[in-house]
Structure 1
Amino acid sequence: DPKGILKDDILPDGTKVRAGEMVTYVPYSMGRMEYLWGHDAAEFKPERWIKDGVLQQVSPFKFTAFQ
């Protein structure tokens, strides 16, 4: 999902971007990143979001397909 940068800006993580550059992210890949989800990122595990029977709040930016 590429986005064109219209004016210099700073992304929420502190990354500087300049006008004319492109920023691309791939939600499919983000959902499989081990550093975000653990070594078992490819496994369907609803319990990732449940602790002691309570649904845990996770940032919607962690996996943009959830937005």
Structure 2
Amino acid sequence: MKSAKPNTRRNFLLAAGLGTAGAAAAVATATRGVKGAKEAASPDTSSGYRDSEHIRKYYETTKV
């Protein structure tokens, strides 16, 4: 009978940790979804490849 208490505590702590992680993931995806909707609503004026500063830096790091 004494072994039932530690398992119960472990299960509670495990469930509390998973619940917290799930809530954080839900908030993160909800926030990301709002940003994605705003970007999708704006008209896309670019067409094709766009060269930018960070792209050029990346290409410089890949040179042999």
Q: Identify whether the pair has TM-score above 0.5, normalized to the shorter chain.
A: no
Q: Normalised by the shorter chain, which TM-score bucket?
A: under 0.3
Q: Comparing both chains, which one has the higher relative contact order based on Cα–Cα distances under 8 Å and sequence gaps of 6 or more? A: 1
More helix by percentage: 2
- Which structure would you say has the larger Rg? 2
More strand by percentage: 1
Q: TM-score, normalised by structure 2?
A: 0.22
Q: TM-score, normalised by structure 1?
A: 0.22
